[in-house]
Amino acid sequence: MKKNLFIIIVVGVLAVLIGGLVALHFQDVAVITQTRTQLAKVQDTINTLRNDMASMRELTPGSTDVAGVIAAVSSAVVRIDITGAGIVGVGSGFIVDESGYVLTNHHVIADATSIKVTLTTGSSYAATVVDADANRDLALLKLVSPRMDFPKIGLGTASDTTVGEEVMAVGYPLGLELTGPVSFTRGIVSAIRNIGGLDYIQTDAALNPGNSGGPLVDQQGMLVGMCTASVTDPTVNVQGLGLAIPVADVLLFIDSGRISCTNCHYQK
Domains (range + CATH), the chain: 74-143 (2.40.10.10), 154-254 (2.40.10.10)
pLDDT value for 22: 45
DSSP code for 236:
B
pLDDT value for 106: 96
pLDDT value for 87: 86
252 CB-contact burial (10 Å; exposed 0-12 / middle 13-18 / buried 19+): middle
Task: Note the residue count of the chain.
Answer: 268
Options 137, 204, 218, 249, the catalytic residue:
137
Q: Cβ(243)–Cβ(201) under 8 Å?
A: yes
Residue 63 annotated to the active site: no
How many other CB atoms are there within 10 angstroms of residue 115's CB atom?
Answer: 25
Nearest CA to 80 among 210, 227, 253, 223? 210
Residue 212 annotated to the active site: yes
The vertex-186 CA angle with 183 and 189, nearest 5°, equals 130
Q: In sequence order, which residues have a C-beta less than 8 Å from that of residue 114 and are 6 or more positions away?
A: 82, 83, 84, 126
Q: Which residues are paired to 88 by β-bridges?
A: 83
pLDDT beneath 50, residues of the chain: 2, 10-11, 13, 16-17, 21-22, 24, 26, 49, 52-62, 263, 265-268
pLDDT tens profile 36-92: 666 666 566 656 545 544 443 333 444 568 888 899 999 999 999 999 888 899 999
pLDDT value for 40: 67
For the entire predicted model, the pTM comes to 0.72
Options 92, 99, 190, 212, the catalytic residue:
212
Options 74, 75, 107, 255, the catalytic residue:
107
Residue 265 annotated to the active site: no
